[in-house]
Amino acid sequence: MLGKECWVVDLCIGIGAFFVIKWILKFLCSVLTVVRVTFVSFIWPRNLVKEYGGKWAVVTGSTDGIGKEYGRQLAQKGMNIVLISRNLEKLKKTEEEIRQECGVDVHVIQADFSHGREIYERIAEGLKDKDIGVLVNNVGYFDVPGRFMNVSEEEIWRYVNVNMASVLAMTRLVLPQMLARNRGAIINISSMFGLCPIPFVSTYAATKAFVSSFSHALEYEYRQSGITVQTVHPSFIKTNMLSSFPHVHNRGFIAPKPADWVSSCLSTLGYYRTTGGTWGHAVAVCMHTHTHTHTHTQSRPGFPLRESRQYTNLKKF
């Protein structure tokens, strides 16, 4: 009887030791990845052209904020840039800035993604004969927060065409050539708001949830084909939109500058399938996911959700 009890104890100890060792190894791998991302990538710059098999990077919504910085910093890493946005004047200005600063080829395509399917034939023509290594699906639309019935039908289709259809259509245009050479990277800019339901920005949050869901599924489908798909969940960033929130806009840890945030994001490309960008955003995403899922979707008698007055002056972008 005693021998049987010892056998059971030894088995339990062995199983426990196995899981402890497994956890320690997993933790050490995570630490090594963080070290590699945080330090090594800054000491030894990466050759993204060689790594992803194409000289060109395509960035949508590329004349301001996040998109402009992705274009500029990918150019600094030696990639030629295709800028796609709706404002031709801003496109030309950004093209000249990147060309003078980085000495790379820059091509611009004027396209209003809110127009839907009709624009993609022109975009496809503009991308013809370009070996594209990196695609950044950044273009997005966000309006003043409010109840769903305050959103016009025109705005609903703008959300769909800009935030959702653009990701599908641009991926469809670029992915075939990446698959042909078994290399390429697709960066899909989602949002912290896409991680759980958010009242008063319900349509925007839902479209970003779509981006996250599609991006995660795409990554799984093509990870064995040499394609890197990264989902990015930014929180607050110091852009024109955030100027309406001065209590957040002036806090660097919570709202980093686009240049700092994009630099941090690019250092994780190929190492992390999902990122919030900076450490501050990673904390914000974690807190947002664990608190808002419960507080914003449960009804509490006597505590109805109300629209905040701070949103009334929010700028469109």
Average pLDDT over residues 290-300: 44
Percent of the chain with pLDDT over 90: 51
How many Å apart are CA 9 and CA 198, to the nearest integer?
50
Question: How does pLDDT run across 60-90, given as a tens digit for each residue?
Answer: 999 988 999 999 999 999 999 999 999 999 9
Contact call for residues 189 and 214 (beta carbons, < 8 A): no
Superfamily of domain 48-297: NAD(P)-binding Rossmann-like Domain (3.40.50.720)
Percent of the chain with pLDDT over 70: 74
Contact call for residues 296 and 145 (beta carbons, < 8 A): no
Q: Is 218 left (phi over 0), alpha (psi -120 to 50) or beta?
A: alpha
Is residue 135's pLDDT more than 90?
Answer: yes
Question: How does pLDDT run across 194-242, given as a tens digit for each residue?
Answer: 787 888 888 999 999 999 999 999 999 999 999 999 999 887 776 665 5
How many Å apart are CA 179 and CA 14, to the nearest integer?
45
How many Å apart are CA 8 and CA 301, to the nearest integer?
53
Note the pTM of the prediction, 2 decimals. Answer: 0.77
User: What pLDDT band is residue 33 in, cutting at 50, 70 and 90?
Assistant: low
- Pairing type for strands 56-60 and 80-85 reads parallel
The two three-digit tokens of residue 8, written as one number: 């059971």
Choosing from 120, 204, 271, 311, the catalytic residue is 204
Give the pLDDT of residue 277: 65
User: What pLDDT band is residue 303 in, cutting at 50, 70 and 90?
Assistant: very low
- Pairing type for strands 184-189 and 80-85 reads unpaired
DSSP state of 116: G
Phi then psi dihedrals of residue 226, to 5 deg: 85, 15
Q: Which residues contact 67 (CB under 8 A, 6 or more apart)?
A: 59, 60, 61, 85, 136, 138, 139
* Angle 69-70-73 from CA coordinates, rounded to 5°: 80
Contact call for residues 105 and 80 (beta carbons, < 8 A): yes
Side chain identity at residue 96, one-letter code: E
Q: Is 204 a catalytic residue?
A: yes
How many Å apart are CA 165 and CA 214, to the nearest integer?
11
